[in-house]
Structure 1
Amino acid sequence: MENFKFRLQKLLDIRKDAEEESKINFKKSQQEKINAEKSLEKLNDNYKKFSEERKYGSIVQQKITQAYLNSLSGCIDQASRELTNKETQLEQHRKELKQKQIDRKTVEILKDKQKAKFTREQNLAEQKANDEFALYGFIRSNRDR
């Protein structure tokens, strides 16, 4: 029985590699988004903490705290924009990964269909050979009688 050789195996390997690379990019993008969320959360926590402290203390401390809160507010806005960009980037990597998976599965389906066809053909050839051997055996045994 012959071994199955898939002509598009190199293409399948290339697509698998591209999918793996896309998975890595997706994971990196996902981690960057998580880090951006943590950073934004930390900034918001600091803002809440210092906005409560602003009520107490001398006028100079209140002015310093207000300036810090204004700076934090700008940082929060920047972190929010960065988070939005990271979410967009993550969604783009998700779509790219999904497309790479579809491409790989398309070639794998072709491989599976060709392998099934090859197996069927091999089984039919083997069955035909067995039938011929049985027929020759039958003819020999009937001829000897």
Structure 2
Amino acid sequence: MAGFKFRMQKVLDIRLDKEEESKRIFKKAQDEKNKAEQKLNDFKNKYNKYSKIDTNCSMIEKKIRQNYCNALYFNIGEITTELENKVKILDKKREELKQKQIERKTVEILRDKQRDAYIKEQKLIEQKNNDEFALYAYIRNTKNQQL
């Protein structure tokens, strides 16, 4: 097995590096989507908290609260759009990662097949040598018995 050399090892190494880079990019896109989701949930929670009508407030406080809720509602709409874009980007990155994994696995399958063929060839050579040694031993033993 020590004599096996895969001629496309550099190609495999390059594809492994590209896959790792794609994994990092995918993870970054996933983190950004998660941050956007968290931000959206925070704004929704704040909106739900402050949108409830408090009868003990003055008119100015109600107006300030209403303006704050309007700003939150506007931000929720923007973040929802941003989240949709991040989900699309994440899906694109996921597909790229899958493609990189397929490319890597293709070369790995070639390597495994070549290694198996090499091992099989080495076993055949070893078997031929063993058969030859056995034949020589048999011939030597039969000559010794005839003498």
TM-score normalised per structure 1: 0.94
- Listed as ranges, the matches of 1:123-142 within 5 Å are 123-142=123-142
In structure 1, the partner of 2:48 is 48
**Deviations 1:11-30 (CA, angstroms, capped at 9, x unpaired):** 00011111111111111111
Q: Which residue of the partner structure matches residue 117 of structure 2? A: 117
State the distance in 2 between where 1:108 and 1:55 align: 70
Per-residue deviation at 1:104? 0.5
Matched residue type, 2:140? R
2:64: which partner in 1? 64
* Number of aligned positions between the proteins: 145
Give the counterpart letter for 1:134 in structure 2.
A
Residues 27-42 of structure 1 aligned to structure 2 (within 5 Å): 27-42=27-42
Following TM superposition, the consecutive aligned residue runs of length 4 or more in structure 1 with deviations greater than 4 angstroms are 53-56
- Quote the offset at 1:2 in angstroms: 5.7
Residue type matched to 1:121 in 2? E
SS of residue paired to 2:52: helix
* Cα distance in 2 for residues equivalent to 1:63 and 1:54: 12
Q: 1:2 to 1:83 in 2, by over 3 A?
A: closer
Shift of 1:54: 5.4
Residue segments in structure 1 that go unaligned for 5+ positions in a row: none
Helix, strand or coil: the match of 1:52? coil
Q: What TM-score, normalized to structure 2?
A: 0.93
Are residues 1:17 and 2:46 paired? no
**Alignment RMSD:** 1.4
Deviation track 1:75-107 (CA, whole Å, cap 9, x = no partner) reads 111110111111111111111111111111100
Match of 1:73 in 2: 73
- Specify every segment of 5 or more residues in structure 2 that has no aligned partner in the other structure, as ranges: none
Tell me the equivalent position of 1:86.
86
Deviation at 1:53, TM superposition (A): 4.3
Identical aligned pairs, as a percentage?
Answer: 52
State the alpha-carbon separation in 1 of the partners of residues 85 and 51 from structure 2: 28
Contact 1:54 1:66 in 2 (8 A): no
> What amino acid is the match of 2:88?
T
